[in-house]
């Protein structure tokens, strides 16, 4: 059985949500979005540690949530995040205890399915890295600064990337180290590994694993939670 650490970046300000409180700490159903998200992983075989990165002022709240949700045989840690998602995860990586796999999952994707997490872990064991995603349903355009369309890449090869993004621990540590050294900032973890020319596999998930980003996403999340209760 492989040992696994789950890293949850939850240190974003959530400005697109137009709320005072950061998104992971908004209530959804009977608890916060962060707690809903962590619950999805708890029955995963081999999970031994959960590391959550929050802003300084939410460390206490993060720790309370971990105390509430993490079973005694598992370690729950809450640490201070950074200016960017990448820095938050870099800080969390310094605390990882698992030796095999590290999963990174956005705090604000509370509808991920256990089977999809498992599929992603299996692929990461085999290939080094694996991320969950879905085929792009819209035609995607590349534009310039004037918002003129420059290219229409074939949709056949375009996928929307979600999380979890799962990697063998040494590979992810190396990728983060190298990105920091080179001053490279990516918007996901996979891009840091891809630039080392290492293989990352795309694993098909589903569209219920959306990221709660805009007020409309929160409305949808509330409907889905009500339905499941």
Which stretch in 105-113, 134-142, 152-160, 220-228 sits in contact with ligand C5P by CB under 6 A? 105-113
Q: Which is nearer to ligand C5P, 12 or 129 (CB)?
A: 12
Residue 108 binds ligand C5P, judged by CB under 6 A: yes
Residue 106 binds ligand C5P, judged by CB under 6 A: yes
User: Contact 2/101 with Cβ under 8 angstroms?
Assistant: yes
Smallest distance, Å, CB 89 to ligand C5P? 7
Strand partners, 50: 6, 76
User: Contact 3/32 with Cβ under 8 angstroms?
Assistant: no
Query: How far apart are alpha carbons 78 and 24 in whole angstroms?
Result: 13
Which stretch in 4-12, 69-77, 125-133, 164-172 sits in contact with ligand C5P by CB under 6 A? 4-12
User: Contact 96/50 with Cβ under 8 angstroms?
Assistant: no
Q: Which of residues 17-56 bind ligand C5P (CB under 6 A)?
A: 24, 53
Smallest distance, Å, CB 14 to ligand C5P? 7
* Interface size with ligand C5P, residues (CB under 6 A): 17
Measured in residues, the chain has a length of 229
Smallest distance, Å, CB 52 to ligand C5P? 9
Output the CA–CA distances (angstroms, integers) from residue 60 to 22, 110, 194, in the order listed.
14, 21, 35
Q: Which of residues 181-220 bind ligand C5P (CB under 6 A)?
A: 211, 213
End-to-end CA distance of the chain: 33
**Within a 13 Å sphere around the CA of 12, how many CA atoms are in the beta-carbon half?**
22
The binder of ligand C5P chosen from 10, 17, 101, 120 (CB under 6 A):
10
The binder of ligand C5P chosen from 83, 145, 151, 229 (CB under 6 A):
83
Query: How far apart are alpha carbons 142 and 154 in whole angstroms?
Result: 11
* Binding-site ranges for ligand C5P (CB under 6 A): 9-12, 24, 53, 81-85, 88, 106-108, 211, 213
């Amino acid at each position: 059985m492989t040992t696994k650490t789950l890293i949850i970046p939850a240190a974003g300000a959530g400005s697109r949500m137009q709320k005072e409180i950061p998104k992971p700490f908004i209530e959804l159903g009977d608890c916060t979005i962060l707690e809903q998200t962590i619950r999805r992983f708890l029955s995963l075989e081999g999970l031994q540690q959960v590391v959550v990165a929050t802003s300084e002022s939410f460390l206490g709240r993060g720790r309370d949530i971990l105390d509430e949700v993490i079973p005694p045989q598992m370690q729950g840690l809450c640490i201070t995040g950074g200016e960017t998602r990448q820095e938050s995860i870099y800080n969390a990586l310094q605390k990882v205890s698992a030796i095999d796999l590290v999963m990174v999952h956005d705090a604000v994707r509370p509808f991920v399915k256990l089977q999809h997490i498992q599929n992603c872990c299996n692929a990461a064991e085999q290939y080094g890295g694996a991320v969950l995603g879905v085929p792009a349903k819209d035609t995607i355009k590349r534009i310039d600064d004037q918002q003129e369309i420059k290219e229409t890449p074939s949709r056949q090869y375009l996928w929307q990337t979600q999380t979890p993004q799962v990697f063998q621990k040494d590979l992810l540590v190396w990728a983060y180290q190298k990105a920091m050294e080179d001053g490279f900032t990516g918007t996901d973890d996979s891009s840091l590994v891809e630039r080392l020319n290492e293989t990352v596999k795309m694993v098909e998930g589903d569209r219920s694993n959306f990221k709660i980003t805009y007020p409309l996403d929160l409305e949808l999340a509330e409907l889905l939670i009500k339905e499941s209760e």
